[in-house]
């Protein structure tokens, strides 16, 4: 988002730096921390860091570890205090913040064990108060925190200071907000496993830090970031207290920044350098704000809503309305692979070749049908040579009880089999119920779970009309950690992706374009595709290959960013639902469901219907549902 086209002013109450990617922003923050560590080393002094867990600081920690390994950055003078820990929580549990910090930072650098402080989740209740007071004292005795890293929760919390936390709060035991517990579900198998309480540093403890970096990556943080940065100071959104700090800086990516006024409606905070994309954004915004179809917007509507500039610079409302209406109209097509023998000058896809080779990349085994099942069905019906490529095995998201059914099936089916085979299945059943199973046993169970998902994906792809030769399972290695925490993208992931692309030489590729999904599987999967194209860009076919991005995670593209939208009839929507139903292990309540209570097919339908309503409200045709895409333009 090359936002330099705005002469920026803003309503932001503390400085916020918006980075193109979370990676860039995280590198910058890591470098600032490294600089401070080194400076103190030169002075023969210690430095006290306040650290956070969660997804926000992971790339900062990765970068610090890299600097330690490659640039000799030492942590021998670093003392750390972590913000919080679940309560109760054993330090070696998968979800403990002790384990998190060890895995992402402490075990990978030369920090002294005695310099690490993380609230203790194992204390008996009656010891907590004194323990918390001592935590504060230890920080004060060391001269206070020099640099505090913070993430922000969707509840508006910093640390685990949930809505209602008072400004003068210190380290204490707290009750977690319902939103926070829902968000924590990404790390816990079931809702009942998520603790209700945590020990957290207070608002006052955080505000005492000399420097604070607030990190926010991804669209799902956009709404709360706006409140934290532009909203009134209130205990209902504890992060707003940061507005009172004299040295706080937000580091956010373009996804998290989308709701800030300077991005959402820059015309409200200054003069704009208008181009066609920005005009489209303004017209859609105005139409939605006034709940009025585009073609009915008047000069007065523009003038009364900070858009008089636009009218002065670009003729009348009438002209602008028609132009933007047509632009949006041209995004609608029932021919996602291009309409053969048609004038394609205003269509989203090329008419030629009439039969295209297509690859649909699906990060998890069900994203293809969830996010673009209707388009998938159309591409096949319209005779294109469609392949689907499942990028990861999705093996962690299968319940043990589902795996048990399959292993028992094998057991019973192989009644007369060799004793070794029978013994193997028996051992598998045993390790399924054993929390301390050995790594090899766990790997075997994960294999079963991966195969369950494979079978479901195959069934759904066949249902959409694909032959088995066109169904590819990539099992990218970055995903295969056996836990929700994944490895970063590796060369092997890119190589596997490039190999498939090179084999098929597609004219059209679809990928999950969760560009601002900093740590999730979707972001790594799209990066693997970008990396593969970068490798292959010298090849002739690549120049004719268009990459379309669907939104895989929770949000749809904002209307002004959509470049192709494929309408679905009620019958097509039903068929899409049937394809999603093939993913039986994900029905009802899958493991790691995230914060959304709806089943995947419901989320998909709500989203596709919402797009149709958005188009209709702008005054365009009324459809049952729509799937939206944006084209990724490579800069070669």
Query: Three-class SS of residue 216?
Result: strand
| Maximum Cα–Cα distance across the chain | 85
Strand partners, 149: 213
Nearer to ligand F6R, 160 or 267 (CB): 160
162 or 605, CB closer to ligand F6R?
162
Concerning whether 415 is annotated as a catalytic residue, the answer is no
Q: Is 327 exposed, middle or buried (0-12, 13-18, 19+ CB in 10 A)?
A: middle
| Nearer to ligand F6R among residue 139 and residue 311 (C-beta) | 139
Identify the bridge partners of residue 566 per DSSP, sorted by sequence position.
Answer: 627
The phi and psi torsions of 628 (rounded to 5 degrees) equal -110, 150
Q: Which is nearer to ligand F6R, 83 or 448 (CB)?
A: 83
Q: Per DSSP, which regions of 452-524 are E strands?
A: 471-473, 508-512
Question: Is the CB of 100 or the CB of 463 nearer to ligand F6R?
Answer: 100
Rounded (5°) CA angle 46-50-56: 135
Q: How far apart are CA 492 and CA 505, in angstroms?
A: 20
Q: Closest separation between CB of residue 152 and ligand F6R, Å?
A: 6
Separation between Cα atoms, residue 311 and residue 468, nearest integer Å: 56
User: In angstroms, what is the minimal distance from the CB of 105 to ligand F6R?
Assistant: 13
Distance of CA 51 to the CA centre of its chain: 22
Q: Tell me the closest approach of the beta carbon of residue 159 to ligand F6R, in angstroms.
A: 4
Smallest distance from ligand F6R to CB 52, Å? 4
Least Å from the CB of residue 241 to ligand F6R? 13
Closer to ligand F6R at the Cβ: 458 or 522? 522
Cis? peptide before 353, omega within 30° of 0: yes
Q: Considering beta carbons, is residue 53 or 171 the nearer one to ligand F6R?
A: 53
Q: Closest separation between CB of residue 237 and ligand F6R, Å?
A: 13
Least distance between ligand F6R and beta carbon 55 (Å): 4
Residue at token pair 């006052």: 204
Phi-psi region of 592 (alpha: psi -120 to 50; beta: other; left: phi over 0): left
Distance, in Å, from the CA atom of 495 to the CA atom of 532, rounded to the nearest integer, reads 7
Tokens at 161, concatenated: 């200071």
Instruction: Give the three-class secondary structure for 399.
Output: coil
Tell me the three state secondary structure of residue 401: helix
Task: Report CA torsion sign: 493, 499, 504, 509.
Answer: positive
Nearest distance in Å: CB 206, ligand F6R: 10
How many Å apart are CA 211 and CA 570, to the nearest integer?
55
Nearer to ligand F6R, 151 or 593 (CB): 151
* Of residues 156 and 591, the one with the C-beta less far from ligand F6R: 156
Q: Would you tell me which residues interact with ligand F6R (CB under 6 A)?
A: 52-56, 83-84, 151-153, 157-160
CB-wise, 54 or 231, nearer to ligand F6R?
54
Question: What's 634's DSSP letter?
Answer: P
Q: Give the count of alpha carbons within 13 A of 401, CB side only.
A: 6
CB of residue 89 vs ligand F6R: minimum separation in angstroms?
Answer: 12
Question: What angle do the packed helices 22-42 and 58-71 form, to 10 degrees?
Answer: 50
Interhelix angle 439-463/419-432, nearest 10 degrees: 90
In the complex, the smallest distance separating the C-beta of residue 487 from ligand F6R, rounded to whole angstroms, is 18
Contacts of 582 (CB under 8 A, 6+ apart): 369, 456, 457, 459, 460, 463
Residue 310, number of CB atoms within 10 A of its CB = 22
CB of 562 to ligand F6R, least distance (A): 27
For 69, the token pair is 């390994």
Q: Which residues are CB-neighbours of 329 under 8 A, at least 6 positions away?
A: 620
Q: Exposed/middle/buried for 505, CB within 10 Å: 0-12, 13-18, 19+?
A: middle
Question: Residue 157 or 449: which CB sits closer to ligand F6R?
Answer: 157
Distances in whole angstroms, Cα of residue 505 to Cα of each of 230, 338, 358:
48, 17, 9
Give me the residue label for tokens 């046993």. 441
- Indicate which residue of 12, 162, 444, 563 is catalytic: 162
546's enclosing H/E stretch is strand 546-550
Phi, psi of 616, rounded to the nearest 5 degrees = -60, -40
Catalytic residue set: 162
């Amino acid at each position: 988002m090359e936002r330099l086209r705005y002469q920026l002013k803003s309503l932001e109450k503390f400085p916020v730096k918006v980075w193109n990617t979370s990676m860039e922003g995280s590198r910058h923050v890591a470098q600032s921390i490294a600089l401070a560590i080194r400076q103190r080393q030169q002075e023969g002094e210690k430095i006290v860091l306040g650290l956070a867990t969660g997804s926000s600081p992971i790339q900062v920690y990765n970068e610090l570890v890299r600097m330690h390994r490659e640039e000799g950055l030492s942590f021998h003078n670093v003392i750390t205090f972590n913000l919080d820990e679940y309560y109760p929580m054993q330090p070696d549990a998968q979800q403990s913040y002790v384990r998190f910090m060890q895995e992402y930072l402490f075990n990978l650098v030369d920090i002294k064990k005695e310099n690490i402080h993380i609230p203790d989740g194992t204390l008996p209740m009656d010891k907590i108060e004194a323990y918390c007071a001592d935590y504060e004292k230890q920080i004060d005795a060391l001269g206070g925190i020099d640099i505090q890293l913070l993430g922000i929760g969707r509840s508006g919390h910093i640390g685990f200071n949930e809505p209602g936390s008072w400004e003068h709060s210190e380290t204490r035991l707290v009750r977690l907000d319902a939103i926070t517990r829902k968000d924590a579900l990404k790390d816990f198998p079931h809702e009942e496993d998520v603790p209700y309480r945590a020990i957290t540093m207070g608002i006052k403890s955080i505000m005492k830090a000399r420097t604070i970096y607030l990190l926010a990556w991804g669209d799902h943080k956009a709404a709360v970031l706006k409140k934290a940065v532009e909203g009134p100071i209130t205990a209902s959104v504890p992060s707003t207290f940061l507005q009172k700090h004299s040295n706080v800086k937000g580091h956010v990516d373009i996804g998290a920044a989308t709701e800030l006024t300077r991005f959402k409606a820059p015309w409200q905070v200054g003069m704009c350098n208008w181009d066609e994309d920005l005009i489209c954004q303004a017209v859609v915004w105005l139409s939605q704000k006034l709940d009025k179809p585009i073609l009915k917007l008047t000069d007065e509507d523009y003038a009364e809503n900070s858009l008089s500039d636009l009218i002065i610079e670009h003729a009348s409302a009438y002209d602008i309305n028609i132009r933007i209406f047509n632009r949006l109209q041209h995004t609608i097509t029932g021919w996602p692979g291009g309409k053969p023998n048609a004038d394609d000058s205003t269509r989203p896809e090329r008419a030629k070749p009439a039969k295209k080779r297509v690859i649909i990349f699906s990060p998890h085994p069900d994203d293809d049908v969830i996010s673009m099942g209707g388009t998938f069905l159309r591409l096949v019906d319209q005779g294109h040579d469609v392949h689907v490529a499942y990028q990861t095995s999705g093996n962690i998201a299968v319940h043990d009880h589902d795996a048990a059914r399959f292993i028992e099936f094998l057991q019973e089916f192989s009644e007369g089999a060799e004793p070794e085979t029978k013994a193997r299945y028996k051992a598998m059943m045993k390790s399924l119920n054993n929390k301390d199973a050995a790594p090899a046993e766990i790997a075997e169970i994960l294999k079963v779970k991966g195969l369950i998902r494979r079978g479901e994906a195959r069934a759904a792809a066949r249902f959409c009309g694909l032959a088995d030769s066109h169904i590819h399972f990539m099992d990218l290695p970055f995903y295969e950690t056996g836990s929700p925490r994944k490895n970063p993208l590796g060369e092997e992931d890119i190589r596997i992706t490039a190999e498939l692309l090179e084999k098929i030489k597609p004219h059209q590729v679809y990928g999950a374009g969760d560009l601002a999904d900093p740590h999730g599987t979707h972001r790594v999967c799209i990066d693997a595709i970008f990396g593969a194209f970068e490798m292959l860009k010298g090849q002739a076919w690549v120049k004719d290959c268009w990459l379309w991005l669907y939104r895989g995670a929770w949000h749809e593209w904002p209307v002004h960013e959509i470049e192709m939208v494929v309408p679905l009839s009620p019958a097509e929507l039903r068929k899409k639902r049937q394809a999603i139903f093939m993913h039986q292990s994900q029905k009802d309540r899958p493991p790691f469901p995230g914060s959304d209570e709806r089943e995947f097919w419901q989320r998909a339908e709500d989203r596709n219907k919402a797009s149709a309503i958005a188009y209709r409200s702008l005054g365009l045709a009324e459809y049952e549902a729509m799937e939206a895409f944006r084209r990724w333009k490579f800069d070669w």
